[in-house]
Structure formats: structure tokens, C-alpha cells
Amino acid sequence: MNYTLHQLQVFLKITETKSITKAAVELHLTQPAVSIQLRNLQNQFEIPLTEIIGRQLYVTDFGKEIAKASERILEEVNAISYKTMAYKGILSGKIKISVVSTGKYVMPYFLSEFANKNKGIEIEMDVTNKTRVIKALKNNEVDFALVSILPSDLNVESEVLMQNKLFLVGNKNILLDRNIKIDELLSESPLIYREVGSATRISMEKFIYDKGINARMKLQLTSNEAVKQAVIAGLGLSIMPLIGLKNELENGDIQILPIKELPIITNWRLIWLKEKKLSPIALAYLQFLTENKERINNENFSWINLY
């Protein structure tokens, strides 16, 4: 066997994406380069690693076993690198974080300084919906998760990073009487929802239920950006996190509707399993957050206090 670490890295990415094209994009390689690496690895085995049915790539059972072995090999290689840097007195390791989709406006600001100061660390951040974030945490696939609603079925520790405000918003063409009640408004205007499982949707539905409001659902969309564009286009109203609306509010494309019952207020929290034994790099990151989160908030999110 003469396979290389690069071949294993490429093959592992192919198994994750189920696509040579997507693997090439994520690895910043050309599609032919990825195909060559897959072919060179395949040539060392008599049993197929992948197969094409129609136009879809499938990983064979044998290929899945090779992928598992590849992951273990690459983890050991990374561990050697981390240990080498540790002996040099350099903080090193990998932090894996799963972030709910709106959290992409939050988490990078609480990571950048720590990453820049510690060149020996790697950060892997997956941005997805709340259901998948909690699943990744539950399965111990990540060190931390960023959420705005704590999971009810997991025993977790948490670190509050900042406040999360949700307002009812519409586009710039809506003219409202400032005394209008939200139940009157939402009984007449269609409401745009996030998908089931989204923390924003959970907060919105709880608010509507608690207020006894009869709201008409116009659209259900799978990302905050899609909801934002639908609101700007005039397709309806939505209750959205303030954190993702800074540019649209400043440009006047979106306006916060003057409803006295709002905002809904939750907190952005970094959470981790209570029984998890955190790595030295993860513990160092928590210490960094404790010491610096207030300053990071003041430097990057003071605009939130204007609303």
C-alpha cells in the first residue's frame, strides 16, 4: 500500500459530501485533481470504494470502512502535530463547534481573537439548524454548540455570550399606526416562518401561542437570509433576530414594527455536555470567553442597545 495522507483526506471529503464536485469546492481543488486522487487511491484496492448509479456517487460498504480508518489515521497524524507544538509551549488542538444558522452573525466575533493569538489551533465550525446542532452535541461530535434556546433533554453547562432580541419586522413600504396591536396586525398580514426545528420558529410560535394570536402562515423558509429577502420583497412579516438585520435596518430595507409586546428576549449561549471531559484547548477557550466576552460585546455589538 502506497496511499498518501492527501489521498485519504480527499477520499474522506468525498464520503462526507457524496460528490466529487462538492469535495473539490470544500478542499479548494479542481474537480480533475480530486478525481485523480480518488483514482490513485482506488487503484490500491481490488474492491470498489465508490460507485456511480445514474449520476449519483455512492460510497460502498467497503469504502465506508476505509473512510472510518482514514479518519482515525488523520486524527492520529493531527495528534502528533498538536503534541509537537505542545512540547514547544504552543497551545494547540482542534475545537469543533456546531452553530445554529443565525449564530453565524455571533460566533466568529468570539473566535477570531483567540484563533489569531493561538496559531497552533484549528477551528471547525458547522452552521446548521437547531435540531442538527443538538444532535451533533448529543452524539459527542462537537465540543461546543451555540444556541439561543437550551435543549430540554440534555444535561449541559453553558456560558452566556450576549442577548438575543427578536422583533416583528416588515419592509420599508409598511405604514403603521403606532398604537396597533399585534393580534390585529397578524390577523390581517401574512407571517413568514422559519422551518420546523429552528430556534427562531420555536420562539415565534411560543409567543404567538401565549398571546392567543391567530396568525396566517404565508411561507416557510429554511434560512434567516431567505426570510429576510422575502420580507424585503413584501411577501409578509416575520419575527426575526435583530443580530442579522444590522445592514438592512441601516439601509432602510427593513423596519422594526412598533409592537409594545416585543422584543422577545433570549440569550446566545455556548453550551457543552456536562459530563464531557474538555480538552486543554477547549478549557483555554472557555477561560478566554469568561475574561473577554464583555469587551467583545462592547466592541462589536453595542449597536444592539439602540433597539
**Structural domain boundaries in the chain:** 5-84, 91-162+267-306, 164-266
**pLDDT recorded at residue 288:** 92
User: Which tens digits make up the pLDDT trace of 92-103?
Assistant: 678 999 999 889
**pLDDT recorded at residue 156:** 93
Query: Would you state the CATH architecture of domain 5-84?
Result: Orthogonal Bundle (1.10)
135: cell is 444532535
List the chain residues with pLDDT less than 50. Answer: none
| Cβ-proximal residues to 132 (8 Å cutoff; 6+ apart), any chain | 98
Q: What is the DSSP letter of 124?
A: E
2: cell is 502506497
First to last CA, the chain: 62
Name the residue with cell 505542545.
86
Neighbour-count burial of 210, counting CB atoms closer than 10 A to its CB (0-12 exposed, 13-18 middle, 19+ buried)? exposed
CATH fold for the domain made of 91-162+267-306: D-Maltodextrin-Binding Protein; domain 2 (3.40.190)
**pLDDT recorded at residue 278:** 85
What is d(CA 135, CA 141) in angstroms, rounded to the nearest whole number?
9
User: Which tens digits make up the pLDDT trace of 35-48?
Assistant: 999 999 999 998 99
| Cβ-proximal residues to 127 (8 Å cutoff; 6+ apart), any chain | 99, 100, 101, 103, 104
Sign of CA dihedral 117, 122, 128, 129: negative
Domains 91-162+267-306 and 164-266 are alike in CATH topology: yes
Query: Would you state the CATH architecture of domain 164-266?
Result: 3-Layer(aba) Sandwich (3.40)
**pLDDT recorded at residue 130:** 86
Distances (CA, A) of 297 to 100, 107, 233: 19, 11, 31
Most distant CA pair in the chain: distance in Å? Answer: 75
What is d(CA 279, CA 59) in angstroms, rounded to the nearest whole number?
32
Coil vs helix vs strand at 98: strand
